[in-house]
Structure 1
Amino acid sequence: MYQLSGVTKRYRRGKATVQALDGVDLAIEDGGRLVIQGPTGGGKSTLLQMLGGLDRPSAGSVLLDGVDLATLPESRLTRVRAEKIGFVFQGFNLVPTLTAQENVETALVPLGLRARDRRERAGEVLASVGLGERRGHLPDELSGGQQQRVAIARALVKSPAVLLADEPTGNLDESTRDEIMDLLEKLWEDSGLTFVMVTHDTALARRAPRLATIRKGRVTIREQAART
C-alpha cells in the first residue's frame, strides 16, 4: 500500500528553517491500521498530509500502490485523492448550509456520478453510520458526535482504499469519543481499508496494532497488542 523512503519536509518560519520530517522511512501494508503519536509540532499532521497527497516532501518518495505522490502532476494527484483516499478531521469540515445528505454527496461529485446514484450511495452510507433518519438535518442541528459521523460517511461514501483521520475525536467528550472510535474500528474491520490516524489520546493509541511515534521529525514504529 504505502512505502515512504527518505521523506523530508522543510519549510520557512520567518527567517528560520523548520524541519518537520527528517528522512522518514515507513511501510504501511494494505488493510493495515496505524496510529501516529508525538508532541505538538513534532510532524504528525505533516506526515498525514504526505500520505494524503495534501502536501509534497522536500525530498524523498511517497509511494501509494507504486505511484509516487510526491511527483504526480496536480491533476492526477487530485484524482487519486478523490478516488482512493478518505479524510476525517478534528473540526468535521462540514458545509454549514448543506444537509447531512448533501455534505456526503459532495465527495461523489468529482467522480462524475449521476445525481440519483449520489443520493442512493449517500443515503446508504449515512444509514451505515446510524444517521439514516438525520440525513435532512443541517450540521448545527446535529450533535458533535453526529457531525463527525457525517464526516466519516463523507469519507467512506466513495469506497476509498485509505482512510486518514487527524484527531477525529479531539472535539468530543469521552463517551462520544469511544462511540466514534468503536465505529471507525468496525468500519476498518468490515471494509478492509487501510486506516491511519493521528491522535494525542494515549488510550486510543493503545487500541491500534501498530504505533508510530514521531519526535523531531523522526519516526519509530512499535508493534503492540491492541487493547479495547
Structure 2
Amino acid sequence: MYELTGVTRRHTRGKDVVDALAGVDLTIADGDRLVVQGPTGGGKSTLLQMLGGLDRPTSGSVLLDGVDLAGLSEARLTEVRGEKIGFVFQSFNLIPTLTAQENVETALVPLGVKPKERRKRAAEALASVGLGERLGHVPGELSGGQQQRVAIARALVKQPRVLLADEPTGNLDEATRDEIMDVLEARCEEHGLTFVMVTHDSHLARRAPRLVTLREGVLVPS
C-alpha cells in the first residue's frame, strides 16, 4: 500500500529552516490500522498530508501502490485522492447551508456520479454511521458528534481504499470521542480499509493495533 523512504519536509520560517519531517521511513500494508501519536508540532499532520497527496516532500519518496505521489501532476494527484483516499478532519469541514445528505454528495460530484446514484449512495453512507433519519438536517441542527459522523460518511461514500483521519475527535467530549472511534473502527473493518489516524490523545493511541510515535519529525519507538 504505502512505502515511505527518507521523507523530509523542510519549511523556512524567516531565517530559520525547520524540518517538519526528518527522514521518515514507514511501511503501511493494505488493511493496516495505524495510529501516529506525538506532541503538537511533531510532524503528525505533515505526515498525513504526505500520505494524502496534499503536500510533497522536500526529499524522499511516498509510494502508494508503487506510484510515487511526489512525481504526479496536480491533476493526477486530485484523481488519486478522489479514487483512493478519504479524509476526516478535526473541524468537520461541512458546508453550513447544505443538508447532511447534500454534504455527503459533494464528495461524489467530482467523480462524475449521476444525481440519482449520488443521493442513493449518500443516504446509505449516512445510514451506515447512524444518521439515516437526519438526511435533511443542516450542520447547525446537529451535535458535534453527529457532524463528525456526516464527515465520516462523506469520506466513505467515495468507497476509498484508504481513510486518513487528523485528530478526528479533537473537538469532542470523551463519551462522543469513544462513539466516533467505534464508528471509524467498525466501518474500516467492514470495508477492509487501510486506516491511518494522527492524534495526541493517549487514550485513542492505546486502542490502536499498530502505533508509532513521531517526535520532532522523527519516528521513535512507541
TM-score for both structures, normalised by structure 2: 0.98
Query: What residue number does 1:61 align with?
Result: 61
Deviations 1:9-46 (A, max 9, x none): 00111221110001100000000010011111110000
User: Counterpart of 1:197 in structure 2: which amino acid?
Assistant: M
Secondary structure, in 3 states, of the residue corresponding to 2:30?
coil
Q: Is the 8 A contact 1:211 1:221 kept in 2?
A: no
Query: What residue number does 2:11 align with?
Result: 11
CA–CA separation in structure 1 for the residues paired with 2:90 and 2:137 = 20
Aligned length: 222
Deviations 1:68-104 (A, max 9, x none): 1111011000000011000000000000111100000
CA–CA separation in structure 2 for the residues paired with 1:109 and 1:199 = 30
Query: What residue number does 1:144 align with?
Result: 144
Q: Residues 121-140 of structure 1: matches in 2 within 5 Å? A: 121-140=121-140
Query: What residue number does 1:93 align with?
Result: 93
Secondary structure, in 3 states, of the residue corresponding to 2:41?
coil
Q: Is the 8 A contact 1:23 1:218 kept in 2?
A: yes
Secondary structure, in 3 states, of the residue corresponding to 1:41?
coil
Secondary structure, in 3 states, of the residue corresponding to 1:39?
coil
CA–CA separation in structure 2 for the residues paired with 1:96 and 1:221 = 41
Q: Residues 188-207 of structure 1: matches in 2 within 5 Å? A: 188-207=188-207
In the TM superposition, structure 1's runs of 4+ consecutive aligned residues that sit over 6 Å from their partners are: none
Q: Does 1:115 align with 2:110?
A: no
How far residue 167 of structure 1 moved from its aligned partner, in angstroms, is 0.3
Root-mean-square deviation (CA), in Å? Answer: 0.8
CA–CA separation in structure 1 for the residues paired with 2:80 and 2:97 = 27
Deviations 1:104-123 (A, max 9, x none): 00000111010000000000
Query: What residue number does 2:186 align with?
Result: 186
Q: 1:86 to 1:193 in 2, by over 3 A?
A: same
Secondary structure, in 3 states, of the residue corresponding to 1:107?
coil
| Structure 1: gaps of 5 or more residues | 223-228
How far residue 209 of structure 1 moved from its aligned partner, in angstroms, is 1.1
Q: 1:221 to 1:192 in 2, by over 3 A?
A: farther
TM-score for both structures, normalised by structure 1: 0.96
CA–CA separation in structure 2 for the residues paired with 1:88 and 1:220 = 25
User: Counterpart of 1:116 in structure 2: which amino acid?
Assistant: K
CA–CA separation in structure 1 for the residues paired with 2:123 and 2:83 = 19
CA–CA separation in structure 1 for the residues paired with 2:176 and 2:66 = 37
Secondary structure, in 3 states, of the residue corresponding to 2:150?
helix
Q: Does 1:153 align with 2:118?
A: no
Secondary structure, in 3 states, of the residue corresponding to 2:108?
helix
Q: Is the 8 A contact 1:35 1:211 kept in 2?
A: yes
Q: Is the 8 A contact 1:37 1:214 kept in 2?
A: yes
How far residue 221 of structure 1 moved from its aligned partner, in angstroms, is 5.1
CA–CA separation in structure 2 for the residues paired with 1:46 and 1:164 = 12
How far residue 220 of structure 1 moved from its aligned partner, in angstroms, is 3.0
Q: Percent identity?
A: 77
Q: Is the 8 A contact 1:165 1:196 kept in 2?
A: yes
Query: What residue number does 1:226 align with?
Result: none
CA–CA separation in structure 1 for the residues paired with 2:6 and 2:29 = 18
